[in-house]
Amino acid sequence: MSDSTSLEVSLVDDMKSYARGNGDRNGREEYHLTPKDGNIPSDVMLLNRTPLKLMETFDSHAINPRLVDDTLPVRVAHDLIVFVTLRGFIAPACA
């Protein structure tokens, strides 16, 4: 995290680890975690621009990903945490 530097990260499938031919490779899911109004000490965090708040019943909010074309770079703005899920990715080390 940085207070001024943004990054673009390109993902490369060197090992051909995406499932192919079965429709599994159709983008990626991104989850962007940011402080409200860009204020780091804020007590409200946003997940894909939706405020995360404690609920009295301890139920969880629906966590909806941002769907992105997997050929585009991952954009990481300053003061941002990004989690990425690659659809159809097969990690040989985890098989």
Question: Is 2 a domain residue?
Answer: no
Is the Cβ–Cβ distance between 28 and 87 less than 8 Å? Answer: yes
Structural domain including 46 reads 7-94
Instruction: Tell if the pTM clears 0.85, that is, is over it.
Output: no
The residue ranking higher by pLDDT, 93 or 38, is: 38
Question: Is 11 a domain residue?
Answer: yes
Q: What local confidence, expressed as pLDDT, does residue 23 receive?
A: 45
* Average pLDDT for the chain: 79
Question: Is 44 a domain residue?
Answer: yes
Question: Is 1 a domain residue?
Answer: no
Is the Cβ–Cβ distance between 88 and 24 less than 8 Å? Answer: yes
CA–CA distances in Å: residue 32 to residues 4, 56, 95: 17, 24, 28
Q: Could you read off the pLDDT of 19-75 as tens digits, one per residue?
A: 544 444 567 899 999 988 888 888 888 999 999 877 777 777 788 899 998 888 999
Look at the chain and report how many structural domains it folds into.
1
